[in-house]
A and B are shown apart, each in its own frame.
Chain A
Amino acid sequence: MDNSIRKTQNISRKKSFLQKMAGNWDLVFFVLPGIIITTIYHYLPIYGIQIAFRNFKIKRGIWGSPWVGLDNFARFFRSANAWPIISNTLILSLYSLAAGFPVAIILALMLNSFRHKRYRRVIQAVTYAPHFISTVVMSGMLILFLSPRLGVINTIIRASGAESINFMGKSDYWRHIYVWSGVWQSMGWSSVIYFAALSGVSPEYHEAAIVDGATKFQRVLNIDLPFLAPTITMLLILNMGSILSIGFEKAYALQNPLNLGVSEIISTYVYKVGITNRDQSFSTAINLFNSVVNAVLLLTVNALSRRISENSLL
């Protein structure tokens, strides 16, 4: 198959652009619907980012609204909300990454060296399942379990003689609840990619190591884990690139007035300012700041990783 691809490529290189086009003109219609929809709903909004630099009024439209330069950005950074929201976003994101990332790798390594194949399949099926629970249901379950009077967790706490805790109403607990429920929901699914990669480890390495007297634990540490390094680097870079774009849905679902001090993050703030308060320019400015930071982070981590480990994404 490889040969035939090379052959067609060689042949097609010899033909002119128009000739090639003529042979496959109908493939253009295959890609046309997607291009039209993506242009309208993805590229057109990029063009609309300019309202971040204008004082946008719906009645006047994008073009009729006056330019205000960086006023919207200045307003954000001068507001008392800016730093708490940025730090909330960073903390939540880094905490999620620090907790979820290693767990998925360790789970994959354990599953890979697990001896009971049938039981392993059961464990995999069960740990993947929460991935398919919707954010609303996941948050609903948390609120049900943690409810101060009727929740199971507090019933247990009361039975042990302590006072019940209003988990969702206390800022101290909110981040832990958010992050560890996220780990619970995604560890199985996130481990799939590592587990799949581990099937590529050649058994010869293990056989050789066994002959040299390596224990199973040593083999996991010195054969399996290094084998995963490229995959880990790639996913780490991707995750770092979206460090400030941590999802809207779950944070918004778990918010209530009592925990807003830690649960207000950039995306929920963008939503409230833009959709609820209809301050579209201000909202877009914050969103743009967010995207720029993400892009810079992605490129920085990518460059660092290229220098350190020779694994990079771009």
Chain B
Amino acid sequence: MERNHIGRSRGDVIFDGIILVVLTVIFLLVAYPLYFVIISSFSDPIAVAGGKVVLAPIGFTLDGYKEVFGTNTVMRSFANSLLYTFVGVCINLMVTLPTSYALSRPDFVLRKPVLVFYLITMFIGGGMIPTYLVVRDTGLLNTMWALVIPGALGTFNMIVARTFYTTNIPLELMEAAKLDGCGNTRFFFNIVLPLSGAITAIMVLYYGVGHWNSYFSALIYISDRDKWPLQMELRNILLLNAINAQVNRVLTAEQLREKERLEALAEMMKYSLIIISSIPVLVIYPFVQKHFVKGVMIGSIKG
């Protein structure tokens, strides 16, 4: 681009060509498996297992999706995850945003100590069991609250939001509001929040994806299957069954055929399940990609 008027040297043409090829290969390497999952979820499971599904669905069918929607445990956990993600993000915002704003104010006297208080948490933690014991002792075990309260404030996210406020909310604005008799609380809710939609969106997305995708907390804290989030149910179907399928027993020919059919259907259901579980993220991803990236950049300025 910068040398259009001169023309590129031969070495540069080769260099550009290599980059084009390598990036295209990377693009295909990343995109194809994702695309493959999509077409497989609509295809005849025997064709998928036989390696015939390559570019488009073969033997188009919605059986996999019917199977998923017919499985109560999956649907219930999907609803649970929606609830946990919603409640979790609300709590995250209520705790993180005010903290970030207060810490962005140079005239807040407790700024330094509170900042240090949070920076320490990035390096020292109690570890799995001591944290488990506290969660148990505070009565959160086996409730939704165990998933949403302990991580209410992520230090990294808080620092990202704080950097955003520092650079985007001019102090003059605060001083002017103060002269008009506007207190910090009113200023935050009526002026700061409406002016910082971008960072609120970034936080919703960071925390939201985190809640939606995590299974570790549920694995440790939630023992009732009724309360499982989607990822735990997915784990059961995608990961644990996979191990069972490797156990080989001696079967008659007919049993073997039936077993193969069921297995094929189960495999197909897995593809559909992957798609369904990704829907919430897939739906918002195109809209928010810019914001996600912006968040990383704000974070990196601080570093």
**Which of B99, B124, B132 has a CB less than 8 Å from the CB of A46?**
B124
Whether A248 is near chain B, meaning CB under 8 Å from some CB there, is: yes
Assess the A134–B125 pair: CB atoms within 8 A: no
Assess the A215–B125 pair: CB atoms within 8 A: no
* Binary CB contact string for chain A from 23 to 35 against chain B (1 if under 8 A, 0 otherwise): 1101111110111
Assess the B3–A210 pair: CB atoms within 8 A: yes
Whether A288 is near chain B, meaning CB under 8 Å from some CB there, is: yes
Q: Which of B9, B133, B158, B184 counts the most chain A CB atoms within 10 A?
A: B133
**Which of B27, B106, B171 has a CB less than 8 Å from the CB of A126?**
B27
Give the interface segment out of B59-67, B149-157, B193-201: B149-157
CB distance from A191 to the nearest CB of B (A): 10
**Which of A8, A27, A148 has a CB less than 8 Å from the CB of B102?**
A27
Assess the B185–A128 pair: CB atoms within 8 A: no
Whether B101 is near chain A, meaning CB under 8 Å from some CB there, is: yes
Whether B114 is near chain A, meaning CB under 8 Å from some CB there, is: yes
Assess the A197–B300 pair: CB atoms within 8 A: yes
Assess the B127–A27 pair: CB atoms within 8 A: no
**Which of A4, A144, A188, A295 has a CB less than 8 Å from the CB of B123?**
A295
With A136-B231, A150-B267, A215-B15 already in contact, the answer to whether A141 and B274 are too (CB < 8 A) is yes
CB distance from B17 to the nearest CB of A (A): 10
Whether A86 is near chain B, meaning CB under 8 Å from some CB there, is: no
Q: Which of A126, A132, A139, A284 counts the most chain B CB atoms within 10 A?
A: A132
Assess the B114–A31 pair: CB atoms within 8 A: yes
Assess the A45–B51 pair: CB atoms within 8 A: no
**Which of A38, A49, A133, A139 has a CB less than 8 Å from the CB of B117?**
A38
Whether B220 is near chain A, meaning CB under 8 Å from some CB there, is: yes
Assess the B12–A196 pair: CB atoms within 8 A: no
Assess the B105–A24 pair: CB atoms within 8 A: yes
Q: Which residues of A contact B239 (CB under 8 A)?
A: 136, 139-140, 143, 253
Whether A274 is near chain B, meaning CB under 8 Å from some CB there, is: yes
With A125-B289, A129-B30, A217-B15 already in contact, the answer to whether A137 and B274 are too (CB < 8 A) is yes
Q: Which residues of A contact B87 (CB under 8 A)?
A: none
Whether B7 is near chain A, meaning CB under 8 Å from some CB there, is: no
CB distance from B249 to the nearest CB of A (A): 14
Assess the A288–B127 pair: CB atoms within 8 A: yes
Q: Which residues of B contact A150 (CB under 8 A)?
A: 48-49, 263-264, 267
Assess the A24–B153 pair: CB atoms within 8 A: no
Assess the B184–A1 pair: CB atoms within 8 A: no
B107: nearest chain-A partner, CB-CB? A12
Whether A57 is near chain B, meaning CB under 8 Å from some CB there, is: no
Bound: A35/B127 CA distance, A: 19
Bound: A71/B30 CA distance, A: 49
A144: nearest chain-B partner, CB-CB? B270
Whether B56 is near chain A, meaning CB under 8 Å from some CB there, is: no
* Binary CB contact string for chain A from 199 to 216 against chain B (1 if under 8 A, 0 otherwise): 000010011001000011
Q: Which residues of A contact B8 (CB under 8 A)?
A: 216
Bound: A193/B107 CA distance, A: 31
Whether A256 is near chain B, meaning CB under 8 Å from some CB there, is: yes
Assess the A253–B235 pair: CB atoms within 8 A: yes
Bound: A152/B49 CA distance, A: 6
Bound: A294/B299 CA distance, A: 23
Q: Which residues of A contact B163 (CB under 8 A)?
A: none
Whether B2 is near chain A, meaning CB under 8 Å from some CB there, is: yes
* Binary CB contact string for chain A from 169 to 193 against chain B (1 if under 8 A, 0 otherwise): 1000000000000001001110011
Assess the A46–B102 pair: CB atoms within 8 A: no
Assess the B242–A8 pair: CB atoms within 8 A: no
Assess the B30–A130 pair: CB atoms within 8 A: yes
Whether A161 is near chain B, meaning CB under 8 Å from some CB there, is: no
Whether B253 is near chain A, meaning CB under 8 Å from some CB there, is: no
With A147-B242, A147-B245 already in contact, the answer to whether A249 and B99 are too (CB < 8 A) is no
Q: Which residues of B contact A168 (CB under 8 A)?
A: 242
Bound: A64/B255 CA distance, A: 58
Bound: A169/B105 CA distance, A: 55
**Which of A1, A37, A280 has a CB less than 8 Å from the CB of B150?**
A37
Whether B83 is near chain A, meaning CB under 8 Å from some CB there, is: no
Q: Which residues of A contact B130 (CB under 8 A)?
A: 44-49, 51, 284
Bound: A149/B19 CA distance, A: 37
Q: Which residues of B contact A288 (CB under 8 A)?
A: 127
Q: Which residues of A contact B11 (CB under 8 A)?
A: 215-217
Bound: A74/B90 CA distance, A: 45
Whether A145 is near chain B, meaning CB under 8 Å from some CB there, is: yes
Pairs A–B under 8 Å by Cβ, sample size 17: A28-B102, A31-B114, A34-B153, A45-B127, A46-B124, A46-B126, A126-B31, A129-B30, A130-B30, A140-B274, A152-B36, A196-B300, A217-B12, A217-B15, A271-B128, A287-B129, A291-B125
List residues of chain A with CB under 8 Å of any chain B CB: 1, 4-5, 8-9, 12, 17, 20-21, 23-24, 26-31, 33-35, 37-38, 40-49, 51, 62, 107, 110-111, 113-116, 120, 122-123, 125-130, 132-137, 139-141, 143-145, 147-150, 152, 155-156, 159, 166, 168-169, 184, 187-189, 192-193, 196-197, 203, 206-207, 210, 215-217, 231, 234, 241, 248-249, 253, 256-257, 267, 270-271, 274-275, 280, 283-284, 287-288, 290-291, 295, 298
The 7 closest A-B pairs by CB, nearest first: A45-B126, A140-B238, A48-B130, A134-B213, A155-B51, A287-B127, A45-B130
